[in-house]
Amino acid sequence: MDKRKNYDSDFCGSLPLNHINVIQAYGYLLVLDSDTLDIIQASENISALLNKPASQLVNTNFEDYANIAAIRSLQEQVGDSIKDKVPVTLTLGITKVQALVHFKPGYLILELEKPSSSAERSFSNVFEEVKYAMAAIEQADTVEQVSQIAIQELRKLTGFDGIMMYRFDADWNGTVIAEEKVQNKGLENYMGHTFPASDIPKQARQLYLKNAYRLIPDRDFTPVRLYPVINPKTNAFIDLSDCNLRGVAAVHIEYLKNMNVQSSMSFRVIHKGQLWGLIACHHLTPRYLSFELCSVCELISAVVSNKITTILYKENFEFEADLQKKQTALIAQVYAEGDLLAGIIDNTEHNLMHLLNAGGIAASINGKLYKVGNTPDNGFLDNMILWLQGKNIDKLFVTDHFSSIYDEALPYADVASGALVMPVNSDAGDYIVAFRPEVKQTIKWGGDPNQAINFEPGSKNYHPRNSFKLWQETVHNTAEAWTKEELSVAEGMRSFIFEFTTLNA
């Protein structure tokens, strides 16, 4: 096919995931009035913890069932300054319960962990392993090393059957860059595979900016409703955006089932305040992680995010510094020659083609064509200049799929799949164009991306694809995209060229 299709789904991305009235069954949820600490909403399974049905708990005070000193202390300490959830230990009768407290305008959300006698490791038990994991991640030099070390250490800590890490591209498709799993247990190998953006639609990606991880201990859980249905403070379904217990969309449950996954957990990887990637954990049987162990994993994912950010900043800085060095040398070369074209094109060792990492450069100046490297023929270039003028291209123009907007470029895909246009004097037809050749790309999809969303006939109900087997796609007529650093230096060169030609007119 030609340029890769965008598989992000506007429909999936518009479905509400956070304003709901159900939670998962692995914990309890209470909503308290922030002033009085009266219970104003409760999950219907709360009776197992407080020995009263939710309907009888509502409008009673939480102090009747628990020592609220810890909550009041938190309120005094944080006020309105803390937007994230805060862990606290509550005493209900003689039982100690771990809880996460969310501070909202007018109310508090309490996520309560089910008391357990299982030998789940606490933070103190895993502290040495955490220190080792953090040290190992910090020693890594590349994104690939960080990714592989991170999933190995997380698998040791969590015991999941399989863990993979994938990074998002510009279209929000996710490609697996590291994988660690138990062999011969039924989990597919996805290393190098790409999952379409619709697998994690826009609103789901946004929720990861509010919540560092997402745990689904058992896909076959029975959803637990809240009582009453409507939050009396907001007169709407409660916003559970940053709650771990938030219920799961039926289509995602079906997705896990089709992957042969019973339990899943995913952690965010953040770069520049945006979702850069995800660490996805899968298990063939139900698997629950305590609040404490989830917090440990959250800490490691933050370390991963910071380390990847450091590496990417270093790589970008070095790349940009090299471009600036080449640009300075090229400008000096123009002044030394006293001639624009001699300075940016004639030098075979250092010219505009090398600066922009192009396959060829064509310059139309004062009605004459100058070329270096691999470019289309003069007839094509003459027609292209007329097309640019007809389109009123008077600013930097760039494309990595030229034939999609200019049909005549299709036969020249081998040299002109990408084009970067620097207008010098558009009225006079003076342009400098950098060309990039076609880069054929074979994408290994995790299942046919065209089947990622399957609507029922005549209905808005839809289902995920039922196969994640390798599905290969070859993309044609597309060039390597120019980076924002390259575009910045190209804009700088355009400004210099305009000033130089104006002064020397």
Whole-number pLDDT of residue 18: 59
What is the distance between the alpha carbons of residues 225 and 22, in angstroms, rounded to a whole number?
Answer: 4
Tell whether the model's pLDDT for residue 14 goes beyond 50. no
What is the distance between the alpha carbons of residues 205 and 17, in angstroms, rounded to a whole number?
Answer: 11
**Range 12-17+120-223+244-313 has CATH code 1.10.3720.10:** no
Span 124-138, pLDDT tens digits: 666 777 888 899 999
What is the distance between the alpha carbons of residues 314 and 293, in angstroms, rounded to a whole number?
Answer: 32
Whole-number pLDDT of residue 395: 87
Whole-number pLDDT of residue 115: 84
Span 197-213, pLDDT tens digits: 988 888 889 999 989 99
Tokens of 208: 């990861």
Whole-number pLDDT of residue 121: 55
What is the distance between the alpha carbons of residues 61 and 70, in angstroms, rounded to a whole number?
Answer: 15
Nearest alpha carbon to residue 202 among 165, 177, 253, 168: 168
Which amino acid, residue 110? L
How much is the average pLDDT of 483-495? 94
Span 227-251, pLDDT tens digits: 999 999 989 899 998 899 999 988 8
State the pLDDT confidence band at 289, using cuts at 50, 70 and 90. very high
The per-residue pLDDT of the chain, averaged, comes to: 88
What is the distance between the alpha carbons of residues 91 and 69, in angstroms, rounded to a whole number?
Answer: 10
Span 373-404, pLDDT tens digits: 999 999 999 999 999 999 888 889 999 999 99
User: Any idea which residue has 């250092």 for tokens?
Assistant: 350
User: DSSP string covering 224-248, please?
Assistant: EEEESSSBTTTTBS-B-TT-TTB--
CA angle 114-111-280, nearest 5°? 85
More confident residue, 20 or 156: 156
What is the distance between the alpha carbons of residues 481 and 169, in angstroms, rounded to a whole number?
Answer: 12
8-12, 282-286, 358-362, 457-461: lowest mean pLDDT where? Answer: 8-12
Tell whether the model's pLDDT for residue 188 goes beyond 50. yes
What is the distance between the alpha carbons of residues 63 and 448, in angstroms, rounded to a whole number?
Answer: 54
Whole-number pLDDT of residue 17: 56
How much is the average pLDDT of 156-162? 93
What values do phi and psi take at 344, rounded to 5? -105, -15
State the pLDDT confidence band at 85, using cuts at 50, 70 and 90. confident
What proportion of the chain, given as a percentage, has pLDDT over 70? Answer: 90
User: DSSP string covering 375-442, please?
Assistant: ---HHHHHHHHHHHHHTT--S-EEES-GGGT-GGGGGGHHHHSEEEEEEEEGGGTEEEEEEE----EE
Nearest alpha carbon to residue 437 among 387, 487, 374: 374
Whole-number pLDDT of residue 57: 95
What is the distance between the alpha carbons of residues 347 and 414, in angstroms, rounded to a whole number?
Answer: 24
27-98: CATH number: 3.30.450.20
Residue ranges per structural domain of the chain: 12-17+120-223+244-313, 27-98, 338-440+477-503
Whole-number pLDDT of residue 459: 55
At 334, which helix (H) or strand (E)? helix 291-337
Q: What is the DSSP letter of 249?
A: -
Whole-number pLDDT of residue 388: 92
Q: What percent of the residues of the chain are helix, what percent strand, and what percent coil, each to the nearest 5?
A: 40, 25, 35
Whole-number pLDDT of residue 447: 78
Say yes or no: do domains 12-17+120-223+244-313 and 27-98 share a fold: yes
User: Any idea which residue has 């450091």 for tokens?
Assistant: 310
Superfamily of domain 338-440+477-503: PHY domain (3.30.450.270)
Q: In the β-sheet with 470-475, what is the strand arrangement from edge to edge?
A: 213-216, 263-271, 274-283, 162-168, 174-181, 194-195, 441-446, 470-475
Tell whether the model's pLDDT for residue 348 goes beyond 80. no
Tokens of 357: 């990492």
Instruction: End-to-end CA distance of the chain: give it in Å, rounded.
Output: 46
| C-beta of residue 360 within 8 angstroms of C-beta of residue 415 | yes
Kindly list the distances between the CA atom of residue 189 and the CA atoms of 163, 200, 442, 444, in Å, as whole numbers in the listed order.
Answer: 10, 19, 18, 12
| C-beta of residue 496 within 8 angstroms of C-beta of residue 420 | no
Tokens of 476: 């044609």
How much is the average pLDDT of 175-181? 95
3-state secondary structure of 24: coil
More confident residue, 372 or 117: 372
Whole-number pLDDT of residue 182: 85
Whole-number pLDDT of residue 62: 93
Whole-number pLDDT of residue 13: 44
How much is the average pLDDT of 259-280? 95
Whole-number pLDDT of residue 140: 94
Span 33-74, pLDDT tens digits: 999 999 999 999 999 999 999 999 999 999 999 888 888 888
Tell whether the model's pLDDT for residue 456 goes beyond 60. no
Tokens of 128: 């040495």
How much is the average pLDDT of 19-27? 90
